Amino acid sequence: MIKKAIFGIFSILLFFSCTSDDDEYRNNPNLINLNFRIQLNLDLPEYNNLQFPGNSYTTYRNGIKGVVIYNINNTQYTAFELSDPNHPPIDCSAMVVEGITAKCPCDDGNEYNIVTGEMTKGTGQYAMKPYRIERRGSLIEVYN
């Protein structure tokens, strides 16, 4: 009886201590949550670089200020928002990708790693906003 009570209390505590991984990004006051879906067909020449690990593809047509997709190892990919998470969306907050770094052209010089989303240079408390990404055959789908 006591074991069941302890197990029950432990289960309740565990349940209430869990939070969504996305809470940190949803609570960023600088970035809104957009609903979108991008489908990239790797058989098309435009997305050819994504067939090889270590390459990325950037689009400024989706997301807030754009989206970068990075191929880690052909089974793992990352996708991040290209609006600097430590600025409200303004003219200079659209980041530019150089190698594995996304650079904000605003005066603070914020830089982020597009593999992890973490800030590598500059000031601010937020990492890059991640998007969900799946690969099915030659199709990559990015969505929020």
Note the pLDDT of residue 27.
Answer: 83
For residue 20, is pLDDT > 60?
no
Contact 116, 109 (CB under 8 A): no
Q: What is the pLDDT of residues 49-66, one digit of tens each?
A: 999 999 999 999 999 999
How many other CB atoms are there within 10 angstroms of residue 38's CB atom?
19
pTM comes to 0.82
Note the pLDDT of residue 26.
Answer: 55
Query: What is the rounded average pLDDT of the residues 115-143?
Result: 97
Chain-centroid distance of CA 72 in Å reads: 14
The tokens for 17 are 């201590």
Domains and CATH numbers, the chain: 2-143 (2.102.10.10)
